[in-house]
């Protein structure tokens, strides 16, 4: 979103209200989504919409809605929706794709080749309307003549919401979802749907398998094994701590040793799970399941 707009929506003197820092901390504690102090104006603009909806007169009064009132859980959910709104579009994290290309995939391909494997398994958990799995599909297709020569891959995309899954399967997107997709990729992997929207080609759709999966459903989660990469963006924010920990246990066993989990760019697993190793790449972070016998050394 345009930060200038958000900045102008919230007067700078309002940002000095310490209630915003408390709201930030409540959100972090419950959802794992963090806003640095310098970006509080973004949080304030999201809160402003909810504050006017519930008719809260001040950030301090709104904080009460999030902490003390009977309907706090519902209000937190609505606020989380506001915070993550607009985060779903294709190619929304170039540093993540660059890390895949330059560091992660070469590492995984090396390890799998050594064992005689030539297939990658990728899971977009909580795929919403499909922007993430289609981005991954385009990225991998573009690499198929370079990094991935001789390799095949499959992408599993799951969500709990049937309407989101139906939209994802249809693969019809407007300018917002495609705003970071280059003209070249649009021409290659989409066809005109109407005068404002494009639709994913059958080739692109055929690379993604959509399924309805509830991440809290142990029976289904147990069977999703052998993943190299899991992407789970802004989904865990809606889970309580116990459920988050359970999902993380599943993700850990769903991944192959040496595999990576990626969360939303403002999400953290702090105090949720300590088996994953937090790995920094230029401009992005991932959570790594180290291979058996890894004893540190700084470089996965």
Partner 1 sequence: MKPHRLEEIGSQVKALEAMPAVPAIILPLTAMLQLPPDQVDVERVVELVSYDGTIAAHCLRMANSPLFGRRNTETVRSAVLALGLKRIEAILLGCCLNRIVPPDKWAFDPVMFWRHSLGCALVSRKMATLIGYPDPEKAYLASLLHDLGMLVNTLAYTEDYRKCIQAARDEHQALDQSEEVHLGFTHCQSGKMLAEHWHFSGDVIDVIEFHHHVVSPVGAPLVALVHLSDLLCRLRDLGYGYYEAMGVDLAGDAAWATLVEHHPALANMDLARLTMDIDGSMEEIVAVVDAVFKP
- Describe the chain by its helix, strand, coil percentages, rounded to 5: 50, 20, 35
Q: How far is the CB of 255 from partner 1 (least distance, A)?
A: 16
Give the whole-angstrom CA distance, residue 128 versus residue 85: 12
Shortest spacing between CB 16 and partner 1, in angstroms: 11
DSSP string, 152-182: EEEEEEEES-HHHHHHHHHTEE-HHHHTTS-
Cβ-based nearer residue to partner 1, 204 or 269: 269
Minimum distance from CB of 107 to partner 1 (Å)? 7
Q: How far is the CB of 191 from partner 1 (least distance, A)?
A: 34
* Nearest distance from C-beta of residue 3 to partner 1, angstroms: 9
Asked whether the beta carbons of 33 and 266 are under 8 A apart, the reply is yes
| Minimum CB distance to partner 1, residue 35 (Å) | 8
Q: Which is nearer to partner 1, 199 or 268 (CB)?
A: 268
Least distance in Å: CB of 273 to partner 1? 12
With a CB cutoff of 8 Å and minimum separation 6, the contacts of 146 are none
Whose Cβ is closer to partner 1: residue 193's or residue 281's?
281
Q: In the chain, where do the E strands start and end?
A: 119-125, 152-159, 172-173, 190-192, 198-200, 208-212, 227-232, 255-263, 277-281, 284-288
Binding site for partner 1 (CB under 8 A): 28, 34-39, 98-99, 102-104, 107, 266, 268-270, 277-283, 285-286, 288, 290, 294, 296-300
Tokens coding 199: 């639709």
* C-beta of 116 vs 297, nearer to partner 1: 297
Strand partners, 122: 155, 229
Phi, psi of 219 (to 5 degrees): -65, -40
Looking at beta carbons only, is 27 or 204 nearer to partner 1?
27
d(C-alpha 189, C-alpha 205), whole Å: 9
Residue among 96 and 124 whose Cβ is closer to partner 1: 96
Q: How far is the CB of 117 from partner 1 (least distance, A)?
A: 21
Beta carbon nearer to partner 1, 105 or 137: 105
CA pair distance 56, 88, nearest whole angstrom: 29
Where does residue 293 rank: exposed (0-12), middle (13-18), buried (19+ CB within 10 A)? exposed
Tell me whether residue 78 or residue 256 sits nearer to partner 1 (CB atom): 256
**Quick one: tokens of 282?**
């230029």
């Amino acid at each position: 979103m345009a930060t200038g707009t958000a900045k102008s929506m919230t007067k700078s003197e309002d940002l000095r209200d310490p209630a915003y820092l408390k709201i930030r901390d409540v959100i972090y504690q419950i959802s794992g989504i963090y806003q640095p102090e310098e970006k509080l104006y973004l949080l304030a603009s999201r809160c402003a919409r909810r504050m006017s909806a519930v008719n809260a007169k001040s950030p301090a009064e709104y904080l009460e809605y999030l902490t003390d009132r009977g309907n706090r859980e519902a209000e937190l959910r609505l606020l989380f929706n506001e915070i993550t709104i607009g985060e779903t579009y294709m190619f929304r994290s170039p540093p993540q794709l660059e890390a895949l290309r330059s560091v992660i995939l070469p590492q995984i391909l090396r390890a799998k080749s050594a064992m005689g494997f030539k297939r990658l398994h990728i899971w977009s958990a909580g795929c919403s309307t499909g922007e993430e799995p289609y981005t991954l599909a385009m990225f991998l297709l573009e690499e198929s003549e370079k990094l991935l020569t001789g390799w095949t891959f499959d992408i599993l995309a799951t969500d709990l919401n049937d309407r989101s899954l139906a939209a994802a399967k249809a693969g019809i997107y407007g300018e917002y979802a495609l705003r970071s997709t280059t003209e070249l990729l649009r021409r290659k992997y989409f066809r005109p749907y109407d005068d404002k929207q494009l639709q994913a080609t059958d080739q692109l759709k055929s690379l993604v398998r959509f399924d309805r999966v509830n991440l809290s459903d142990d029976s289904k989660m147990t069977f999703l094994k052998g993943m190299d990469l899991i992407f789970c963006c802004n989904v865990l924010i809606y889970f309580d701590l116990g459920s988050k920990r359970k999902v993380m246990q599943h993700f850990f066993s769903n991944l192959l040793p040496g595999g990576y989990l990626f969360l939303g760019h403002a999400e953290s697993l702090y105090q949720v799970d300590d088996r994953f190793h937090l790995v920094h790449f230029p401009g992005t972070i991932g959570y790594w399941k180290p291979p058996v016998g890894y004893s540190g050394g700084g470089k996965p």
